[in-house]
Structure 1
Amino acid sequence: MPRAPLYPDEFHVYDTTLRDGAQREGVSYSVADKLAVAHLLDDLGVGFIEGGWPGALPKDTEFFARVAAGELRLRTAQLVAFGSTRRADLAAHKDPQVLALLDSMAPVVTLVAKSDRRHIERALRVDVATNLAMISDTVRLLASEGRRVFLDAEHFFDGFAYDPDTALRVLEVAVGSGAEVAVLCDTNGGQLPLQLAETVCEVLTRTGFRVGIHCQDDTGCAVANTLAAVEAGASHVQCTANGYGERAGNADLFAVIGNLVTKLDLPVVPQERLSALSTVSRAIAELANISPDAHQPYVGASAFTHKAGLHASAIVVDPLLYNHISPETVGNTTRVLVTEMAGRASLELKSAELGVDLSGNPAVAGRVARRVKELEARGWSFEAADASLELLLTKELDEDYRPPFEVESYQVVLDHRPDGSVLSQATVSMRVASYQVVATARGSGPVEALDAALRKALAERLPWLADVEMADYKVRNLAGAPGADALARVLVVSRDREREWTTVGVHTSVVEASMLALCDAVAFAALSHGAAQHRALVAQPPR
Structure 2
Amino acid sequence: MEKVLIYDTTLRDGTQGEGISLSVEDKLKIALRLDQFGVHYIEGGWPGSNPKDMEFFQKVKELPLKTAKITAFGSTRRQGISADQDENLQKLLESGVSVVAIFGKTWDFQVTHALNSTLEENLSMIYDSVKFLKSHGLEVIFDAEHFFDGYKANSTYALETLKKAEEGGADWIVLCDTNGGTLPHEIGEIVAVVKQKLTTPIGVHCHNDSECAVANSIAAVREGARQVQGTMNGYGERCGNANLISIIPNLQLKLGYSCVREEQISLLTSLSRYVHEIANVAPPNNQPFTGMSAFAHKGGMHVSAILKSPETYEHMAPERVGNQRRVLVSELSGQSNLLYKAQELNMDLDKSNPVNKRILQKLKKMEHEGYQYEGAEASFELLVREELGEVKEFFTLESFKILVETEDSAVNTMAIVKLRVFDEVVHAAAEGNGPVNAFDNALRKALESFYPEIREMHLSDYKVRVLDEGGATAAKVRVLVESSNGKEQWNTVGVSTNIIEASWQSLFDSIRYFLLMKNELKVNAR
Equivalent in the alignment of 1:56: 49
Equivalent in the alignment of 1:531: 520
Aligned partner (choices 353, 361, 385) of residue 344 of structure 2: 353
SS of equivalent to 2:506:
helix
**For the residues of structure 2 that align with 1:359 and 1:498, how far apart are their CA atoms?**
31
Aligned partner (choices 101, 104, 110) of residue 101 of structure 2: 110
Equivalent in the alignment of 2:510: 521
What pairs up with 1:180-329 in 2 under 5 angstroms? Answer: 180-329=171-320
Deviations 1:324-378 (A, max 9, x none): 1111111111111100000111112222232324246643333322221121122
Say whether 1:101 aligns with 2:92. yes
Deviates most, 174-183 or 198-207: 198-207
Distance change >3 Å, CA 441–CA 171, structure 1 → 2 = same
Distance change >3 Å, CA 73–CA 503, structure 1 → 2 = same
Deviates most, 291-300 or 442-451: 442-451
Q: How far is 1:96 from its partner?
A: 2.2
Deviations 1:194-240 (A, max 9, x none): 12211111222333542211111111111111111112221111010
Letter in 1 for 2:519: G
Equivalent in the alignment of 2:500: 511
Equivalent in the alignment of 2:440: 451
**For the residues of structure 2 that align with 1:109 and 1:375, how far apart are their CA atoms?**
59
Q: Verify the 8 A CA contact 1:45 1:273 in the aligned structure 2.
A: yes
Distance change >3 Å, CA 104–CA 415, structure 1 → 2 = same
**For the residues of structure 2 that align with 1:303 and 1:59, how far apart are their CA atoms?**
36
Say whether 1:331 aligns with 2:322. yes
Q: Verify the 8 A CA contact 1:416 1:423 in the aligned structure 2.
A: yes
**For the residues of structure 2 that align with 1:119 and 1:333, how far apart are their CA atoms?**
47
Say whether 1:414 aligns with 2:404. yes
Question: Identity over aligned residues, as a percent?
Answer: 44
Distance change >3 Å, CA 361–CA 413, structure 1 → 2 = farther
Q: Verify the 8 A CA contact 2:382 2:391 in the aligned structure 1.
A: no
SS of equivalent to 1:367:
helix
Distance change >3 Å, CA 135–CA 479, structure 1 → 2 = closer
SS of equivalent to 1:529:
helix
Letter in 1 for 2:51: P
Equivalent in the alignment of 1:79: 70
Q: Verify the 8 A CA contact 2:170 2:200 in the aligned structure 1.
A: no
Unaligned runs of 5+ in 1: 536-543
**For the residues of structure 1 that align with 2:129 and 2:435, how far apart are their CA atoms?**
65
Equivalent in the alignment of 2:22: 29
Aligned partner (choices 34, 39, 45) of residue 46 of structure 1: 39
SS of equivalent to 1:497:
coil
SS of equivalent to 2:111:
helix
Q: Verify the 8 A CA contact 1:150 1:181 in the aligned structure 2.
A: yes
Aligned partner (choices 145, 148, 152) of residue 157 of structure 1: 148
**For the residues of structure 2 that align with 1:357 and 1:252, how far apart are their CA atoms?**
42
Q: Verify the 8 A CA contact 2:206 2:216 in the aligned structure 1.
A: yes
SS of equivalent to 1:300:
coil
Deviations 1:284-320 (A, max 9, x none): 1111121111111111111111111111111111122
Letter in 1 for 2:398: E
TM value normalised by structure 1: 0.92
Unaligned runs of 5+ in 2: none
What pairs up with 1:343-422 in 2 under 5 angstroms? Answer: 343-359=334-350, 362-397=353-388, 399=389, 401-417=391-407, 419-422=408-411
Distance change >3 Å, CA 86–CA 463, structure 1 → 2 = same
Q: How far is 1:272 from its partner?
A: 0.8
Deviates most, 140-149 or 336-345: 140-149
